[in-house]
Structure 1
Amino acid sequence: MTENLPADVAAALEAMLDTERPVHVALRRQLPHLSVLSRCSCGCGTAFFEVRTGEVEPAPTGPGTVVAAEAQIVTDGGDFPGEVLVFTQGGYLSWLEVCSWSDDIEVSLTAAGTSLRPY
Structure 2
Amino acid sequence: MSNKEIISSSNAPQAIGTYSQAVKVGNTVYLSGQIPLIPATMEMIEGGITEQATQVFKNLSAVASAAGGTLNDAAKVNISLTDLGVFAQVNDVMAQFFEQPYPARACVQVAALPRNAMIEVEVILAL
Relative contact order (alpha carbons < 8 A, sep ≥ 6): 1 or 2 greater? 2
Q: Shared fold (TM-score greater than 0.5)? A: no
Structure 2 length-normalised TM: 0.27
TM-score (norm 1): 0.28
More helix by percentage:
2
